[in-house]
């Protein structure tokens, strides 16, 4: 149900606004996002060095026209930067319940590189499993990156069963894998990928999965939308993702905005 008079309110559940590519015009990007009806942005960390400044992004929140929440985690792409000790650091930080930190992430498994050594694979698995265990311990949701690894991710999640589940971001897996994540209570994040007509399988899933299992994202500065290839992606473009999803599902933009923002707020408890 939509409340006709409510202003549109969109939630970009995945935006790397802390990356240096936004250093010159971060506040301008935020004000553009506000103009595009974005009310909330979640910034997930990718490595330990980002955590202190993300915890302090409370400061950015005070001057930002958009509410900002964050997640702390270790992304599989930066495996050489991670140390098992970072899991203990994360545990200690989470014990302090820092304001604005709503999830653990971005974590996950990325097995796209076929030349990956068994050691790298094992280190990814160790760090991912450690973060899932912390999600259970601290009762926090997870923000998960998966590429060529959904069945391995599902195996870890089934073993640990994090109570508050989380988001599988930038989902482009199979219908069967989507179903398995939903059974575990996870939401699936859809972004610029669904704006490409060739992404038939993912568009079909975005059109047909229950709306209460879907959240929107940009993954800015990455994952450019169709028509914006080669440009820096921005959180304001989550509105175009929402418009695309509305068209795919045959419902209105306010309906998409209300449902997907509600899903994020419920998941993150804000
Ligand atoms: Zn990301």
CA of residue 91 to ligand 1 center, whole Å: 21
User: Does 146 fall in a domain?
Assistant: yes
pLDDT for the residue 94:
96
pTM: 0.95
C-alpha triplet 167, 105, 34: angle, nearest 5°: 70
pLDDT for the residue 196:
98
Burial class (CB in 10 A: 0-12, 13-18, 19+), 119: exposed
What is the domain count for the chain? 1
User: Does 196 fall in a domain?
Assistant: yes
Q: Are 69 and 102 in contact (CB under 8 A)?
A: yes
Rounded to an integer, what distance in angstroms lies between the CA atom of residue 243 and that of residue 267? Answer: 22
> Which two structure tokens, joined as six digits, stand for 55?
């915890």
Over the chain (270 residues), what is each successive 10-residue block's mean pLDDT?
67 97 95 97 96 84 90 94 94 94 97 92 96 98 97 97 97 97 98 97 98 98 96 98 98 98 98
pLDDT for the residue 264:
98
Residue ranges with CB less than 5 Å from ion ligand 1: 106, 219
pLDDT for the residue 2:
43
Domain that holds residue 65: 10-268
CATH of the domain at 173: 3.20.20.140
CA of residue 251 to ligand 1 center, whole Å: 28
Start-to-end CA span in the chain (Å): 20
CA of residue 6 to ligand 1 center, whole Å: 30
Q: Are 128 and 106 in contact (CB under 8 A)?
A: no
User: Does 3 fall in a domain?
Assistant: no
CA of residue 214 to ligand 1 center, whole Å: 17
CA of residue 75 to ligand 1 center, whole Å: 8
CA of residue 200 to ligand 1 center, whole Å: 22
CA of residue 106 to ligand 1 center, whole Å: 6
CA of residue 216 to ligand 1 center, whole Å: 13
pLDDT for the residue 6:
61
CA of residue 192 to ligand 1 center, whole Å: 13
CA of residue 176 to ligand 1 center, whole Å: 23
pLDDT for the residue 57:
77
CA of residue 203 to ligand 1 center, whole Å: 20
User: Does 16 fall in a domain?
Assistant: yes
pLDDT for the residue 56:
86
User: Does 1 fall in a domain?
Assistant: no
pLDDT for the residue 5:
55
CA of residue 260 to ligand 1 center, whole Å: 18
User: Does 208 fall in a domain?
Assistant: yes
User: Does 118 fall in a domain?
Assistant: yes
Rounded to an integer, what distance in angstroms lies between the CA atom of residue 198 and that of residue 194? Answer: 9
User: Does 4 fall in a domain?
Assistant: no
């Amino acid at each position: 149900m939509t409340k006709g008079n409510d202003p549109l309110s969109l939630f970009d559940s995945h935006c790397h606004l802390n990356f240096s590519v936004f250093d010159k015009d971060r506040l301008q990007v935020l004000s553009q996002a506000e103009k595009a009806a974005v009310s909330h942005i979640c910034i997930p960390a990718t490595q330990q060095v980002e955590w202190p400044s993300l915890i302090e992004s409370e400061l950015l929140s005070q001057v930002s026209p958009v509410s900002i929440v964050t997640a702390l985690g270790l992304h599989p792409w930066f495996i050489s930067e991670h140390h098992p000790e970072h899991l203990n650091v994360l545990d200690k930080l989470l014990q302090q319940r820092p304001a604005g930190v709503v999830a653990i992430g971005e974590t996950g498994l990325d097995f796209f590189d076929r030349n990956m050594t068994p050691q790298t694979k094992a280190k990814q698995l160790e760090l991912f499993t450690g973060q899932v265990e912390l999600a259970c311990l601290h009762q926090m949701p997870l923000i998960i990156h998966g590429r060529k690894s959904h069945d391995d991710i599902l195996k870890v999640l089934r073993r640990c069963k994090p109570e508050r589940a989380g988001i599988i971001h930038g989902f482009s897996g199979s219908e069967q894998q989507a179903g398995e994540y939903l059974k575990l209570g996870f939401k699936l994040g859809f972004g610029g990928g669904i704006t490409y007509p060739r992404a038939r399988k993912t568009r079909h899933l975005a059109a047909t999965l229950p709306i209460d299992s879907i959240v929107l994202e940009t993954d800015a500065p990455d994952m450019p939308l169709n028509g914006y290839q080669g440009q820096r992606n921005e959180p304001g473009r989550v509105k175009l993702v929402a418009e695309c999803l509305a068209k795919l599902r045959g419902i209105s933009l306010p309906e998409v905005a209300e449902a997907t923002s509600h899903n994020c707020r419920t998941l993150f408890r804000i």
